[in-house]
Amino acid sequence: MEKKITVLSGDGIGPEIVREAIKVLDKIAHKYNHTFKYTYVDIGGCSIDKFGVPITDEGMEKCKGADSVLLGAVGGPKWDSCPPSIRPEKALLAVRKELGLFANLRPTKLFLQLADSSPLKQSVVGNGIDLMIVRELTGGIYFGERKTEEKNGEMYSYDVMSYYEHEIERIGRVAFDCAMKRNKKLASVDKANVLDTSRLWRKTMHRLSEEYPQVEYSDILVDNTAMQLIKNPAQFDVIVTENMFGDILSDEASMLTGSIGMMPSASLSSTTLGMYEPIHGSAPDIAGMNIANPIGTVLSAAMMLRYSFDMAKEADDIENAVNSVLNQNYRTSDIMQEGCRKLSCSEMGDMIAANI
């Protein structure tokens, strides 16, 4: 099978971690007689330096023409002074919008080998952590009207959060379908005691829940969700929520596992086209040092195989290889434990590939 992958390595540690994911993908291609054709496109700060924009029109077309997109990370202090309209992060919003990537899937799974790295007590994580946050990605306050102006003698700003019913319904269906494939339990997060958008969200989700009687459905306020993720994360299977709430809660959940470097994500459209990336940033302070953890990017590549290419066995191979490497007591510096052997970024990629 042949698949076209547009690679957006980006800034900071992006090129290093993406290189290791491609190393693993190439091993999969060799084992299963697939062909992965890579097209590299500049995005973020490196694109600003070369072209004056965070992604070019030509680069965007190459994303649209791919079967899937693999992303490293963008941004860094070097570009903090850029005008808001061309900041590196603008490219991510543009790609999500242009490719129709409305659903963000962020799994949070605690590998048992790393239980001691979790900031939570062992009595809390002992029941295991294995949840999926489904975040709406192209609506809400990040895409609403915004303005800063002088008003009544002082500066005044506003950002508008808005949702159409159909936007809520389509992310809701993704979440219910995801719950059906897991443990048939779904928690919908909102702020319905305050926000009109949340009241529409809750009404729409209740209507959808009638179509999925097998799923145990519940509503939970966003502030309570933040507390419950710390108190008892094992109670959650699938969580669905709007854009800003999902942005915050998924980062909180990722740290329950001990390292943000372990966490992958998938951004999906209504077709099989998706964008896959680790949830961490560009980490410019360690860029070029070959010490970054590539596992989140490698697991993102596994999600690409599973969700965009329908290659479940190949995805299982990658996930099992990561688990095997951890069982063999190999670690990168961010997850290093006593009695383990520390690997560089490239060595970790080599080791995962060798275990496929």
Answer whether 239's CB lies under 8 Å from 132's CB. yes
CA dihedral sign, ordered 350, 351, 355, 356: negative
| Count: domains in the chain | 2
Answer whether 228's CB lies under 8 Å from 253's CB. no
| Domain final position from 194, 226, 257 | 257
Query: Distance (Å, rounded) from C-alpha 16 to C-alpha 345?
Result: 7
- Give the model's pLDDT for residue 260: 83
Whether residues 128 and 213 fall in one domain? yes
Whether residues 229 and 352 fall in one domain? no
Does position 93 have pLDDT exceeding 90, yes or no? no
CB under 8 Å to 169, separation ≥6 — which residues?
Answer: 204, 208
Contacts 24+ apart (CB under 8 A), 246-252: 246/104, 246/106, 246/133, 246/134, 246/135, 246/136, 246/137, 246/189, 247/135, 247/142, 249/133, 249/189, 249/222, 249/225, 250/104, 250/106, 250/108, 250/133, 250/135, 250/279, 251/279, 252/226
Whether residues 279 and 242 fall in one domain? no
Q: How confident is the model at residue 112 (pLDDT cuts 50, 70, 90)?
A: confident
Q: What are phi and psi of 156, to 5 degrees?
A: -140, 135
Query: For the segment 185-238, what is each residue's pLDDT rounded down to a tens digit?
Result: 999 999 999 999 999 999 999 999 999 999 999 999 999 999 999 999 999 999
**112, part of any domain:** no
Q: Provide the token pair at 329.
A: 């007591």
Whether residues 202 and 269 fall in one domain? no
Answer whether 60's CB lies under 8 Å from 98's CB. yes
| Domain final position from 203, 238, 257 | 257
- Give the model's pLDDT for residue 257: 83
| Domain final position from 211, 233, 257 | 257
Q: Provide the token pair at 149.
A: 């102006």
Whether residues 76 and 189 fall in one domain? no
Q: How many CB atoms lie within 10 A of CB 78?
A: 15
> For residue 354, what is the domain's CATH number?
3.40.718.10
Whether residues 133 and 248 fall in one domain? yes
**146, part of any domain:** no
> For residue 209, what is the domain's CATH number?
3.40.50
Query: For the segment 275-315, what is each residue's pLDDT rounded down to a tens digit?
Result: 999 989 999 999 999 999 999 999 999 999 999 999 999 99
Q: What mean pLDDT value characterizes the chain?
A: 95
Whether residues 96 and 189 fall in one domain? no
**149, part of any domain:** no
Catalytic positions: 142, 191, 223, 247, 251
- How many helices (H) and strands (E) are present in the chain, helices listed first? 12, 14
Answer whether 353's CB lies under 8 Å from 24's CB. yes
Whether residues 127 and 58 fall in one domain? no
Whether residues 128 and 195 fall in one domain? yes
> Domain range holding 200?
119-139+167-257
Whether residues 346 and 224 fall in one domain? no
Whether residues 95 and 134 fall in one domain? no
Whether residues 10 and 92 fall in one domain? yes
Alpha helices in the chain (DSSP H): 14-32, 45-51, 57-64, 88-98, 122-125, 165-181, 196-209, 222-231, 243-254, 295-307, 312-327, 345-354
- Nearest partner of 52 among 60, 62, 42, judged by Cα: 42
Q: Provide the token pair at 73.
A: 């990370």
- What is residue 151's three-state secondary structure? strand
Q: How confident is the model at residue 116 (pLDDT cuts 50, 70, 90)?
A: confident
**276, part of any domain:** yes
- Nearest partner of 68 among 287, 338, 269, judged by Cα: 269
Query: For the segment 231-276, what is each residue's pLDDT rounded down to a tens digit?
Result: 999 999 999 999 999 999 998 998 888 778 899 999 999 888 999 9
